[in-house]
Amino acid sequence: MPEIKLDRSISYLEGTQRVYDEATTLENTKDEIKKIGVTRIADITNLDRLGIPIFSAIRPSAARGAISIYSGKGSTEQRARISAIMESFERCLAERPGLNANIKSEISAPTLVESYVRAIESCTVLDPATLLLPQPYLPQSLLEWVGTYDLMNNEEVFVSSNSVYHPYDSPGQCQKLFLSNTNGLASGNVIEEAILHGMLEVIERDAISIAQYSRNLGKEIVLTEKDGYLYELASKFKDAGIELKIWLVPSDTGIPTVIAVTDDVKLKDPALLVMGAGSHLKPEIAVARAITEAAQSRVVQIQGAREDTDREGFIRSVGYDRMKRLNRFWFEDGEKISLSEVQDLSRKSPAENIDVILEKLKGLAERVLVVDLSREEIKVPVVRVIIPGLELFTIDRDRKGKRIGSQRKKEFSRNKNEKPWKRR
């Protein structure tokens, strides 16, 4: 794949982590959104009593195996609308050519169909085993490959197409390695912004996976009036009778990752025991993403329209009391810290922020791979970021790596009146 050169002349607007203001982003995407088959953008905030802005985008032409309703969240209506729009671009451009009903052109990256043992003879190829496979693969079997650019080593590397496209079904006699997902799929006003967002999502899922598996949630962030709009967002939960806990989860990357968990103690609906998460170099943004994503998770469950919300029936069959008990570690009291105690690592441009992350990943990851999924006819950059070795447990429990395997699960004291579940 051609070298991805970061444009270091692009800087953020003063006092923000945005290249363009929100009005400009909406204007730039106004005509582009029609090209990818989005027929409607709806404000679904009022489905919930919280009042935190949530929008949805509907794309009936989504490929088979993909969802057609996308959600967006934000602290303002504009931000929530942009969030839903940008997810639409990500989902559409991640569909492989031939399955995409709206985009006919190919991505610019080179492709290859070959076995791993043959491909390594002529190309730099990522060993699929580094992608945390659910079962071993046959190095002699045919695989489909896509060229990526490795930001850490500045070279072209071929990676399994299974980790690039979503949805993914292997063509012909090629082997399928795992269920595809959207981890590391990101868009932006510029490609540097998209790459940064993709890197942060992979890091976020890694940190959540380890925290969830180990049950070590780190420290509890307590917001005060000094935290401005974040305190106001958190207060909406309290005023609605919804318990909210905000955790700064431990991560060896050192990049702030926050999980917000909620319990609707009024409704006692097990499907509304939900969470949201966010990673960002600026702690304030990580907290905002986590809180608004928790609000989005509530609305998605209430709406029940997305194709990936089939957990609802199972969760409700388990019941509120048992689900709360199984997930009680999310709601334990933890060591309290203030937001001001979390170090701000952010810089003044997307390229500088990418530099910080690459430096933080040294010793943890050998490669940071980027596939440019953008198309000439769509003026919104979309990328897939793949960081081999980072954990995926939170989205695919069959894929566990060495870092999660080294974790010791934290034990919690059992209520003396609680009867343990017996194994048959």
Of 51-65, 122-136, 185-199, 402-416, the one with minimum mean pLDDT is: 402-416
Q: Architecture of domain 22-103 in CATH? A: 2-Layer Sandwich (3.30)
| Confidence label for 420 from pLDDT (cuts 50, 70 and 90) | very low
Distance between CA atoms of residues 205 and 195, nearest Å: 16
Q: Is the CB of residue 27 less than 8 Å from the CB of residue 207?
A: no
Token pair for residue 178?
Answer: 């795992």
Q: Residue ranges of the alpha helices (H) in 246-393?
A: 283-303, 311-318, 320-326, 350-361
Judged against a pLDDT cut of 80, whether residue 318 lies above it is answered with yes
Listing from the earlier edge strand, what are the strands of the sheet with 69-73? 40-43, 54-58, 69-73
Confidence label for 304 from pLDDT (cuts 50, 70 and 90): confident
- Per CATH, 22-103 and 214-341 having the same topology is answered yes
Model confidence at 418: pLDDT above 60 = no
Q: Backbone phi, then psi, for 383, in 5-degree steps?
A: -135, 165
**181 with 396: CB under 8 angstroms?**
yes
What is the pLDDT, as a whole number, of residue 311? Answer: 63
pLDDT tens readout for residues 87-114: 999 999 999 988 999 999 999 999 999 9
- Ordered by start, the domain boundaries in the chain are 22-103, 214-341
To the question of domain 214-341 being in CATH 3.40.50.300, the answer is no
- Mean pLDDT of all residues in 302-308: 75
Statement: residue 224 has pLDDT above 60: yes
The total of other beta-carbon atoms located within 10 Å of residue 302's CB is: 18
Cβ-Cβ contacts under 8 Å for 414 (sequence gap 6 or more)? 420
